[in-house]
């Protein structure tokens, strides 16, 4: 019996040493960072900032892989189905985790069970709700009246089914008692270009300040509770009586498949905080109207849980879960 205990003890010690050695060696080859958005958009910009910072700090290339479509579901599934060894990571944004998986009767993944969160790195400003200049509405109230006068004739573009903008538009429409037509695209840039080109009436985004200033789009409202410093005269949806959830800020961060070794997750958490605290991150994120934002993996888990609990009743009420 003593001999058996010695063998078991030795095996456990060797296992611990092997795990420690693995974490210390991580990473010893390139790391893949998957983002559910096409190149050029806000999420892609954050992903490339993270990849650059991680590559320099970890000493191995971190390669961004763009997998747009389905509100980020394709990207998340590719990560949750990957080996939990720290070599496939996810650059998440809120709707990847809190909206998209709720829109299917059979959830493609569980954001609270299938992923582990290293932490947040950035947070966007609230979304601007805009229209093409040809749309006759000069303010938000006129936009609502226009939509009421022509049910399902006023169109809005988003970066995909299951996206945060889609749910925001649907929640806003329900409160305003209007019906609009959703036109999904594979990315934010494409959805904005559709409205700039006049083929779609409205879009909401965070990196469209210059398009509004240049007269290519007209701003009608700002999401959340804080007015935009770029357009201080434009009211917030909270001021207009629509609450603070619609078109509010989006959080970006890094996650890995569930089961990733604890030591590796701790290392990734440290790296995520470094990105949020790097002085030059402020300027790099300003280009997409975002700011550095540090939050731990535990805090992200709480955020995701609360958001799911908040959004799910709206998704059920609007009948969106049938998609």
Which residues neighbour 267 within 8 Å (Cβ) at sequence distance 6 or greater?
23, 26, 58
Q: Is the pLDDT of residue 82 over 90?
A: yes
* Domain boundary assignment for the chain: 2-125+249-322, 128-222
Number of H helices and number of E strands within the chain? 11, 11
pLDDT digits (tens, 9 = 90+) for 261-320: 999 999 999 999 999 999 999 999 988 878 999 999 999 999 999 889 888 888 887 777
Whole-model pTM: value is: 0.77
pLDDT digits (tens, 9 = 90+) for 180-195: 999 999 888 899 999 9
The C-alpha atoms of residue 289 and residue 311 are separated, in whole angstroms, by 25
pLDDT (mean) for 194-218: 95
Would you identify the CATH topology of the domain 128-222?
A: D-Maltodextrin-Binding Protein; domain 2 (3.40.190)
pLDDT bucket at 3, cuts 50 / 70 / 90: low
pLDDT digits (tens, 9 = 90+) for 18-57: 444 445 699 999 999 999 988 988 899 999 999 999 999 9
CATH class of 2-125+249-322: alpha beta
Strand order in the sheet with 218-222: 181-184, 155-158, 202-205, 128-131, 218-222
pLDDT bucket at 198, cuts 50 / 70 / 90: very high
pLDDT at position 16 is: 47
pLDDT (mean) for 192-221: 95
The C-alpha atoms of residue 300 and residue 254 are separated, in whole angstroms, by 10
* pLDDT higher at 2 or 303: 303
pLDDT (mean) for 66-86: 92
pLDDT at position 159 is: 85
Question: Phi, psi (5° rounding) for residue 76?
Answer: -65, -45
Average pLDDT, the chain: 90
pLDDT at position 19 is: 47
pLDDT digits (tens, 9 = 90+) for 124-176: 889 999 999 999 999 999 999 999 999 999 999 998 877 889 889 998 999 99
Chain centroid offset of residue 151 CA: 30
pLDDT digits (tens, 9 = 90+) for 236-264: 999 999 988 899 888 999 999 999 999 99
């Amino acid at each position: 019996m003593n001999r058996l205990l010695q063998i078991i003890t030795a095996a456990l010690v060797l296992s611990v040493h092997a795990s420690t050695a693995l974490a210390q060696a991580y990473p010893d080859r390139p790391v893949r960072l998957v983002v559910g958005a096409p190149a050029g958009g806000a999420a892609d910009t954050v992903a490339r900032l993270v990849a650059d910072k991680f590559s320099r700090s970890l000493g191995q290339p971190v390669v961004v892989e763009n997998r747009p479509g389905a509100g980020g579901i394709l990207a998340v599934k590719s990560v949750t189905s990957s080996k939990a060894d720290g070599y496939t990571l996810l650059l998440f944004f809120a709707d990847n985790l809190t909206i998209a998986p709720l829109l299917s009767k059979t959830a493609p993944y569980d954001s609270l069970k299938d992923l582990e969160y290293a932490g947040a790195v950035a947070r966007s400003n609230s979304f601007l709700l805009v229209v093409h200049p040809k749309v006759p509405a000069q303010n938000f109230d006129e936009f609502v009246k226009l939509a009421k006068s022509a049910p399902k004739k006023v169109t809005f573009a988003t970066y995909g089914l299951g996206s945060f903008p889609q749910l925001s538009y649907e929640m806003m429409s329900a409160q305003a008692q209007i019906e609009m037509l959703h036109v999904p695209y594979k990315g934010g840039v494409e959805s904005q270009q559709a409205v700039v080109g006049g083929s779609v009436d409205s879009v909401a985004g965070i990196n469209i300040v210059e398009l509004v200033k240049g007269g290519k789009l007209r701003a009608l409202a700002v999401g959340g509770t804080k007015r935009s410093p770029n357009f201080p005269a434009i009211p917030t949806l909270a001021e207009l009586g629509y609450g603070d959830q619609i078109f509010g800020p989006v959080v970006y961060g890094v996650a890995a498949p569930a089961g990733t070794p604890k030591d590796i997750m701790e290392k990734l958490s440290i790296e995520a905080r470094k990105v949020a605290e790097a002085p030059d991150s402020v300027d790099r994120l300003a280009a997409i109207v975002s700011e550095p934002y540090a939050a731990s993996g535990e805090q992200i888990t709480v955020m995701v849980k609360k958001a799911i609990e908040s959004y799910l009743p709206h998704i059920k009420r609007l009948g969106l879960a049938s998609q």
